[in-house]
Chain A
Amino acid sequence: MEKGEEEKPTKAGSRLCCICNQRRAALKRPKTLQQICRECFYEVFEEEIHQVIVENQLFKPGERLAIGASGGKDSTVLAYVLSELNRRHNYGLDLFLLSVDEGITGYRDDSLETVKRNEIQYGLPLKIVSYKDLYGWTMDEIVKMIGLKNNCTFCGVFRRQALDRGAALLKVDKVATGHNADDIAETVLLNILRGDIARLSRCTSIVTGEDGPIPRCKPFKYTYEKEIVMYAYFKRLDYFSTECIYSPNAYRGFAREFIKDLERIRPQAILDIIQSGEDFRISTFTKMPEQGTCERCGYISSQKWCKACVLLEGLNRGLPKLGIGRSRGPNNDRKNGTKETNGAKSIESKQCGTLDF
């Protein structure tokens, strides 16, 4: 329903909340365009997430759960809402904040300050794992060596592993990430555009990596980005909203803009894309890479060495191109599936590997 234009302009505040019918409507809910009051917004926002958690049985009582916390809006709201719901509905979860310090001066050091404040505000123990400790390199040092091309590849590969290693150190059973409905809708579209049928078939799963060491889940799978921002805004949550200095333009990709345009015409479209993604039936048996372990570090890997070790080897030997694109490395006996990041910039939004589960 193209409601945008249809809605009659009424004087602000003159209308009652269409949920409680008592208080004055304070906002138009992005997902449904209903005019509701702040209190009802908090309630439907939190209740929807609770329902997603219950229906998908995301957590079991007594589990230890790490919340991937970057200090950004998604993870800050996630930490806040999860600790709130855990209390309210007795999930029985042991919650932790888990942050990755990539070593980016002027970006991550500031956002980590936010996470440290969150640690105190929400009373959740925080664990920070740093690239420097794990790999001996900070992103600043990596960029100094390789420049601003392909640096997101390093960051993405390292972060993925760093989260798992941090989770292992915390001895948690699961990791929850702040991926929201917009992110997932975008991933569905991107996988269609780039012909990645294997990822298309699994990118809408709410839990991933169940066969890996520590499964990840996305409690915000059906939560709109706009509502997360709205929630953070009204609740005056303390979050950090600066873009990474090494990929300043990466965030606004063409696919993302398309989704925003769609949302403007029809808010339901974001949910519809996710619905489509869930309903797709993949006919050909898509070959999943065999899972083994890295001969060097023992991390899960489909190759002889895991991607992080290949990249690291390149850095340490002064050959940073190793493992990027089709170059040859220790795994040269097999075709390397890495995609080049530079060609795709215009359609992708989150370059930094955050969507690669």
Chain B
Amino acid sequence: MACNPSNCQSNCYGNEEKAEVVVGEEYVSANQNQNLCIKCKTKEPIGGDEGRMFCIECFRSNLYGKFRLAVTSHAMITPTDNVLVAFSGGPSSRVALQFVHELQHKSLKNFDASRDRSLPVFGVGVAFIDETTISPLPSHDIDRAIQDIRLIVSNLAPPIKQLHVVPIENIYSGDGTNRLKNLLDAVSDTTGKEDLLLHLRMLSLQKVASESGYNKIVLGLCTSRIACHVILATVKGQGYSLPADIQYVDSRWEIPIVLPLRDCLVQELNMLCHLDGLKTVELLKGPCSGINGLVSSFVRILQEENPSRECTIVRTAGKLTPFHFNRILESDDSVIPLATRRRQKRYNLKPNESISSESFCPICNSPLNKSDMLRLSNLGSCQTSSDSFGAACCSSCRFQILPKDPSSMDHFYSLLPQPLVARAKHSSYDNLSLLREQIQDCLLSDSEDDS
């Protein structure tokens, strides 16, 4: 039922009864002198629910340890990299920024100390997506938040990190404010609108990363958020593509995405912000509504009832088969330190344990499942581009984002930013034969014309 602390990779603590069973004598002895940290057994543990068993130092090093293990064992950040941290101002991305900064700081110290200076120090940039034009919040509130964010970034010790404040409408060439507004207005489903915005946010991160020469994007997604995503994807019928989103590495994008905080709970991240006085900026996210809001409150209540629930959810979903792009491609082995390469062998996916998928939904970039591809391959060639765009989308996006009424599809299509349109063109025309190959066993006739 509960997450078993002895094999849970996320180091969640379970509840006390469970810990007692598994940790056994060690725990009992710690329990006798209740006021000591279970790790160093010398200092007092900190208060609060999640960190109650560790002292401040051990809590901190444990959390940083999870980050570092994720980074090194998946080659998320290597010396020649230039990484972009996506920073919303919330506690998760704040910790991600802090930890990446500390990692960079350490490697700078090593660089200065080493004689041959063989390992360069990786570069770090920070991106904030400015949604002033579509946010219901008053613009001066957002301006103030942006000022705070500038301060947070500039207060970090050297090396200097460039902050990119990117207006979300920049996904369009030229002034896209109205097109963006109209696009979001064209989505009638509340949940669909929220999800579309999420995809556009990713698009703008990709754009700024690509234009400014970054080669990795660091997201602060933590166990708690991933647990929500698991339930959300299940509820939206995205069971096929779900494993793609929840791995440490996701290189289906032009600029690969890495999730170094995948094993940290949001409660731990909040605690660290609190303990270390890391300033966060919280007013930016409006409350989720629709299905997204329902699911996040569902998961929150489950987590309150059992503190290892989120871990269990993520661990369960972690057993689903990932995709071939859920790893850093090993093209430039030489720059990856030997120790990392060794560890990577242990953790990284072997090609035969993953699914290879070549077709993606142009809106959410999810790999398409068989029934989506079957529909796509059955399309005739005499289609308008808006129709073929619609056909190339996954069933979830078709349901909650695309307009129901076929007559408004042209209008919707005309509002889409260019990169999304390009994705559809790429996926639907170029590899029809490839598609056919993958679904061959489901087709009833051999000839193309029959369909």
A residues with a Cβ closer than 8 A to B are 1-2, 6, 188-189, 191-197, 200, 254, 258, 261-262, 265-266, 268-269, 271-273, 275-284, 339-340, 343-344, 346-347
Contacts and interface: CB of A to CB of B under 8 A. Distances in A.
Contacts of A339: 1
Contact of A194 (B1, B188, B190, B230): B1
B121 interface: no
Interface stretch (B127-135, B232-240, B441-449): B232-240
B321 A265 contact: no
B188 A275 contact: no
A200 B313 CA distance: 12
Given A197-B316, A273-B234, A340-B1, A1 B400 contact: yes
B316 A1 contact: no
Contact of A283 (B189, B294, B319): B319
Interface string B303-329: 001000100110111011110000000
B241 to A, nearest CB: 8
Contacts of B316: 191-193, 195-197, 200
B239 A276 contact: yes
B312 A194 contact: yes
A195 B298 CA distance: 17
B233 A276 contact: yes
Contacts of B369: 279
Contacts of B235: 262, 269, 272-273, 276
Interface in B344-383: 353, 355, 369
Interface of B: 1-3, 188-191, 230-231, 233-240, 242-243, 290-291, 294, 298, 301-302, 305, 309, 312-313, 315-317, 319-322, 353, 355, 369, 396, 399-400, 404
Given A254-B301, A258-B294, A347-B302, 5 more contacts: A1-B188, A193-B312, A195-B312, A275-B237, A276-B240
User: Per DSSP, are chain B's interface residues mostly helix, strand or loop, or mixed?
Assistant: helix
Interface class of chain A by DSSP: helix
Contacts of A269: 235-236, 291
A276 B290 CA distance: 19
Nearest to A6: B188
A276 B234 contact: yes
A248 to B, nearest CB: 21
Contacts of A276: 233-240, 242
B231 A344 contact: no
A6 B315 CA distance: 38
Q: Which 3 A-B pairs have the closest CB atoms?
A: A276-B239, A272-B237, A283-B321
Contacts of A279: 237, 239-240, 369
A262 B294 contact: yes
A191 B239 CA distance: 14
Contact of B239 (A196, A197, A278, A346): A278
B216 to A, nearest CB: 25
A344 B309 CA distance: 12
A190 B242 CA distance: 17
6 contacts: A193-B302, A193-B316, A195-B315, A272-B235, A272-B236, A283-B243
A281 B309 contact: no
A346 B234 contact: no
Contact of B298 (A191, A258, A271): A258
B1 A1 contact: no
Contacts of B243: 281, 283
Nearest to A281: B321
Contacts of A261: 294
B312 A189 contact: no
Contacts of A282: 319-321
A265 B237 contact: no
A132 to B, nearest CB: 32
B319 A343 contact: no
A344 B404 CA distance: 41
A194 to B, nearest CB: 5
A271 B399 CA distance: 13
* Residue among A197, A281, A343, A344 with the highest chain B CB neighbour number at 10 A: A281
A187 to B, nearest CB: 12
Nearest to B235: A269
Contact of B313 (A192, A275, A283): A192
Given A193-B309, A272-B236, A1 B399 contact: yes
Contacts of B3: 195
Contacts of B230: 192
